[in-house]
Structure 1
């Protein structure tokens, strides 16, 4: 699973971001993947996995709510926009990096369950 860390933050999260006015989940995801990673979603690969909530990693006292999708991308993956670093994580192995609560408690267990 690909995770990113934004400039000025310490926790790794899933690529993606907040909706702009009148955007759907998929429009937002498409835009954010292009801006953050410089690549494009493969349309027939998009699988909705659910909606998750957790305390925000970088905004104390706030919560995040994320619609999560499994996707494939095409093109070269690289840090763009506000992304400082990216890493590939195997959900079957412990991660030595600091993960956001949503990633650690929701998304990684979900990814692991999808492999079984």
Structure 2
């Protein structure tokens, strides 16, 4: 089994979660990405969110939500995405970057347009009363 180590930002407002769709992709994903070199979770989160959403994470606001695993979309069976999720505040207004086609606020009814690991995260957030 191969594990892809990713860090993600959980940003919820009015019962909806901030999601992104990368260029050339059909599904929406919780923003974030893969760790580079020996980055900490926080360093990865700050870098990835700056790259994808053009906003700056406020480091003191970073709070662990949970770690979730599922089969990686479009990958061979046994390739697993491990998504370590944090909530955090940021400065700025999210805007699409070079790699992001669209930013959209999703709710629990949008399970058919998100990745497998995001479905697990959405279910957890819905059961916690955070996601409508």
What's the TM-score once normalised by structure 1's chain length?
Answer: 0.87
Find the counterpart in structure 2 of residue 77 from structure 1: 94
Judge conservation of contact 1:11–1:57 (CA < 8 Å) in 2: no
The Cα offsets for residues 30-80 of structure 1, whole Å up to 9 and x where unpaired, read as: 000000000011223211012111111233432211111111221021111
Work out the number of aligned pairs and report it. 113
The match for 2:64 among 16, 26, 48 is 48
Find the counterpart in structure 1 of residue 39 from structure 2: 23
| C-alpha distance 114-48 of structure 1, shift in aligned 2 (>3 A) | farther
Cα distance, 1:114 vs structure 2: 4.9
SS in structure 2 opposite 1:17?
A: strand
CA RMSD of aligned residues (A): 1.8
| C-alpha distance 80-97 of structure 1, shift in aligned 2 (>3 A) | farther
Matched, 1:67 2:81: no
The match for 1:12 among 11, 17, 28 is 28
The structure whose residues are more often strand, as a share, is 2
SS in structure 2 opposite 1:33?
A: helix
Q: Which sections of structure 1, spanning at least 5 residues, go unmatched?
A: none
SS in structure 2 opposite 1:69?
A: strand
In 1: Cα distance, 2:18 partner to 2:92 partner: 15
Find the counterpart in structure 2 of residue 32 from structure 1: 48
Judge conservation of contact 2:20–2:102 (CA < 8 Å) in 1: yes
